[in-house]
């Protein structure tokens, strides 16, 4: 069986402790490869390699850094099919989704930041004729990048690309649940001629590798995407060390549907925003609020279409939903369905594990689930489930639905469906979230700020926000007279 390797100082190497973790294929529920169970010794090796590389990489002309990043982007595109299949096997997502979304986006992340550094400029502030200030932006040093399992290569590269584009070196840790495409990326970085030590990938558990990166005194910056609880733990360790922190955390996003929306457009997109990637996207709209006058119409139409969504082998082009990422996660999601019932909810469809045939019989499949009849403030409607489960709740007024929408500890994204321009702008201004999509979902321009408020995170990724996060600004003031 294949053994994944760490990528340290330009080489693919075994973990020092020679220990490995089982890597499961969730579509069949079986181990198919092994992941290094690295520890603080491997993190130390990676950090030393990154520190050494930093002295050269940080002064490498941006045109040269750009050229190498573009090469990595090209290689991802060239290997799209191989990477998409690997992502699907590792994560359980439909290969069609990985082919259309995950892998192209990973290529775009490198392409975007390869070109962004060529167009970035720092500020200058003139004090009339008495003095002039200008801002120098220098790379921070060694950046620690830690990412989750739901969009493995997509989110891993979303951090690494701006970090190395702006002249930092990186010690990165992909999720131990989905390490494969990060491993394949390390091979592509070698092929692209990325100088050794610029990017180091250490595989393993969060409490070992992730915690060592977070606590390492020579890693002054942490970019993290994952759960809110883990984010709080990282902040607890990193804050007293005065590390720069970017935390992209959980969500419990509202999808607000007014009666005046374009019904067909809304319902098609809502199927997607509810169940894409088996509902395992931090931006999915898991709480659907529907204006009372169209509640019954929406419910009938939505449930009938959800029932037709095929749950199946992720490699099958017909499958709309593949497997959820792990047995443990499947059990967690199904436990929330039980909780919803205890809280007085009615399951309109789904709510159960789907047993497929033959080699897929041990896979982790859940039928897309729609629940109604719950209070907006019950646990099912307040806690992140992160699976193919949505709730339906009617509302009467804008004030009421705003209160529902803003009632959770999270504030990542909101989705709004209305043809009323004034209402759209007013609601967008009053929703407590970092992102508001109006009459669309997951439409992304990589230049825009991306992130959440409240328990959904601190800081923003995307565009120049990310480039600037990975640099330290210094003001230089020159007196003229
Ligand atoms: P997680 O927090 O369990 O793990 C994320 C990463 O952190 C993994 O690599 C893990 O190994 C590592 N980790 C775990 N404990 C650690 C520790 N003590 N110190 C350092 N690192 C540690 O999250 P997950 O289950 O992999 O991902 C799902 C979560 O991610 C959901 O809450 C989802 O909403 C969130 N998410 C957020 C965004 C966003 O952009 N806001 C995007 C995707 C996913």
What is the Å distance from ligand 1's center to 320 Cα? Answer: 25
Any atom of ligand 1 within 6 Å of the Cβ of 408 = no
The percent of residues above 70 in pLDDT, for the chain, comes to: 100
What is the Å distance from ligand 1's center to 230 Cα? Answer: 6
Mean pLDDT of 250-267: 98
Q: Specify the residue with its C-alpha closest to ligand 1, atom 39.
A: 248
Any atom of ligand 1 within 6 Å of the Cβ of 230 = yes
Any atom of ligand 1 within 6 Å of the Cβ of 15 = no
Model confidence pTM above 0.85 = yes
pLDDT, tens digit, 9 for 90 and up, residues 42-69: 999 999 999 999 999 999 999 999 999 9
Any atom of ligand 1 within 6 Å of the Cβ of 206 = yes
Any atom of ligand 1 within 6 Å of the Cβ of 148 = yes
Q: In the prediction, which pLDDT does 460 show?
A: 96
Q: In the prediction, which pLDDT does 184 show?
A: 98
pLDDT, tens digit, 9 for 90 and up, residues 324-362: 999 999 999 999 999 999 999 999 999 999 999 999 999
String of DSSP letters for 322-373: ---S-HHHHHHHHHHHHHHHHTT-EEEE--SEE--SGGGTTS-EE--EEEES
Work out the mean pLDDT of the chain and round it to a whole number: 98
What is the Å distance from ligand 1's center to 226 Cα? Answer: 2
Q: What is the rounded distance in angstroms from the CA atom of residue 374 to the CA atom of residue 381?
A: 8
pLDDT, tens digit, 9 for 90 and up, residues 76-111: 999 999 999 999 999 999 999 999 999 999 999 999
pLDDT, tens digit, 9 for 90 and up, residues 209-231: 999 999 999 999 999 999 999 99
* Residue of 376, 338, 384 whose CA lies nearest to 229: 384
Q: What is the rounded distance in angstroms from the CA atom of residue 455 to the CA atom of residue 160?
A: 24
Place 481 in a pLDDT band, splitting at 50, 70 and 90.
confident
Any atom of ligand 1 within 6 Å of the Cβ of 442 = no
Q: Ligand 1, closest atom to CA 412? A: 41
What is the Å distance from ligand 1's center to 150 Cα? Answer: 9
Any atom of ligand 1 within 6 Å of the Cβ of 370 = no
Any atom of ligand 1 within 6 Å of the Cβ of 383 = no
pLDDT, tens digit, 9 for 90 and up, residues 151-187: 999 999 999 999 999 999 999 999 999 999 999 999 9
Any atom of ligand 1 within 6 Å of the Cβ of 457 = yes
* Residue of 316, 412, 322, 304 whose CA lies nearest to 363: 322
The percent of residues above 90 in pLDDT, for the chain, comes to: 99
Q: Specify the residue with its C-alpha closest to ligand 1, atom 35.
A: 226
Q: Which residues contact 199 (CB under 8 A, 6 or more apart)?
A: 7, 160, 164, 169, 170, 172, 186, 189
- The best mutation among 230, 231, 236, 246 to test binding of ligand 1, ranked by most ligand atoms within 8 Å of the C-beta, falls on 230
CA distances from 281 to 105, 201, 396, 417, 449 (A): 14, 24, 29, 20, 18
pLDDT, tens digit, 9 for 90 and up, residues 352-391: 999 999 999 999 999 999 999 999 999 999 999 999 999 9
- The best mutation among 152, 206, 251, 284 to test binding of ligand 1, ranked by most ligand atoms within 8 Å of the C-beta, falls on 206
What is the Å distance from ligand 1's center to 173 Cα? Answer: 11
Mean pLDDT of 436-453: 97
Q: Specify the residue with its C-alpha closest to ligand 1, atom 15.
A: 206
Q: Which residues contact 28 (CB under 8 A, 6 or more apart)?
A: 359, 360, 362, 363
Is 282 in the active site? yes
Q: Give me the CATH code for the 253-438 domain, please.
A: 3.40.309.10
What is the Å distance from ligand 1's center to 147 Cα? Answer: 6
* Residue of 243, 230, 176, 169 whose CA lies nearest to 203: 176
* CATH superfamily of the 2-249+454-478 domain: Aldehyde Dehydrogenase; Chain A, domain 1 (3.40.605.10)
Any atom of ligand 1 within 6 Å of the Cβ of 249 = yes
Place 129 in a pLDDT band, splitting at 50, 70 and 90.
confident
Q: Ligand 1, closest atom to CA 229? A: 2
Q: Give the Cβ contact number of residue 132 at 10 Å.
A: 15
Ramachandran category for residue 246: left, alpha or beta (phi over 0 → left; psi -120 to 50 → alpha): beta
Is 248 in the active site? yes
Domain segments of the chain: what residues? 2-249+454-478, 253-438
pLDDT, tens digit, 9 for 90 and up, residues 224-254: 999 999 999 999 999 999 999 999 999 999 9
What is the Å distance from ligand 1's center to 196 Cα? Answer: 27
Active-site option among 87, 176, 248, 291: 248
Six token digits for residue 44: 């130390």
Query: Residue 267 above 90 pLDDT?
Result: yes
Query: Residue 23 above 90 pLDDT?
Result: yes
């Amino acid at each position: 069986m294949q053994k994944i390797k760490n990528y340290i100082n330009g080489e693919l190497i075994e973990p020092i402790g020679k220990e490995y973790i089982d890597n499961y294929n969730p579509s069949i529920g079986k181990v198919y490869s092994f992941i290094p169970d690295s520890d603080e010794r491997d993190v130390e090796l990676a950090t030393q390699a990154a520190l050494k590389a930093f002295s050269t990489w940080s002064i490498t002309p941006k045109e040269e850094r750009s050229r190498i990043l573009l090469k990595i982007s090209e290689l991802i595109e060239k290997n799209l099919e191989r990477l998409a299949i690997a992502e699907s096997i590792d994560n359980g997502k439909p290969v069609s989704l990985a082919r259309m979304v995950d892998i192209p986006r990973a290529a775009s992340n490198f392409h975007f930041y390869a070109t962004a550094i060529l167009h970035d400029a720092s500020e200058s502030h003139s004090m009339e004729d008495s003095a002039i200030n200008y801002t120098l932006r220098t790379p921070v040093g060694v950046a620690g990048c830690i990412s989750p399992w739901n969009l493995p290569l997509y989110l891993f590269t979303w951090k690494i690309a701006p970090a190395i584009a702006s002249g930092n070196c990186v010690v990165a840790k992909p999720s131990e649940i989905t390490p494969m495409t990060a491993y394949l990326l390390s091979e592509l970085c070698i092929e692209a001629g990325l100088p050794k030590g610029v990017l180091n990938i250490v595989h393993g558990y969060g409490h070992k590798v992730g915690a060592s990166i977070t606590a390492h005194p020579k890693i002054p910056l942490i970019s993290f995407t994952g759960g809110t609880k883990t984010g709080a733990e990282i902040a607890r360790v990193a804050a007293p060390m005065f590390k720069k922190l970017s935390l992209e955390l959980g969500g419990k996003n509202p999808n607000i549907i007014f009666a005046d929306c374009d019904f067909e457009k809304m319902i098609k997109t809502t199927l997607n925003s509810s169940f894409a990637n088996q509902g395992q996207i931090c931006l999915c709209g898991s709480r659907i609020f529907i204006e009372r006058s169209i509640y019954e119409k929406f419910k009938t139409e939505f449930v009938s279409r959800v029932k037709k969504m095929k749950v199946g082998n992720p490699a099958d082009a017909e499958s709309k939903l593949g497997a959820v990422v792990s047995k443990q996660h499947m059990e967690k999601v199904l436990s929330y369905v039980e909780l919803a019932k205890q809280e007085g909810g009615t399951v309109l469809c789904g709510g159960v594990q789907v047993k497929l045939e033959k080699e897929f019989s041990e896979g982790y499949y859940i039928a897309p689930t729609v629940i109604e009849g719950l209070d907006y403030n019950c646990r099912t409607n307040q806690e992140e489930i992160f699976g193919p489960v949505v709730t339906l709740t009617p509302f009467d007024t804008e004030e009421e639905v705003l209160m529902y929408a803003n009632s959770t500890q999270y504030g990542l994204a909101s989705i709004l469906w209305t043809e009323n321009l004034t209402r759209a702008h007013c609601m967008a201004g009053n929703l407590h979230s970092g992102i508001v999509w109006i009459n669309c979902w997951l439409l992304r321009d990589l230049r825009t700020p991306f992130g959440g408020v409240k328990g959904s995170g601190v800081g923003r990724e995307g565009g120049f926000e990310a480039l600037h996060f990975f640099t330290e600004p210094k003001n230089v003031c020159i007196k003229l007279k």
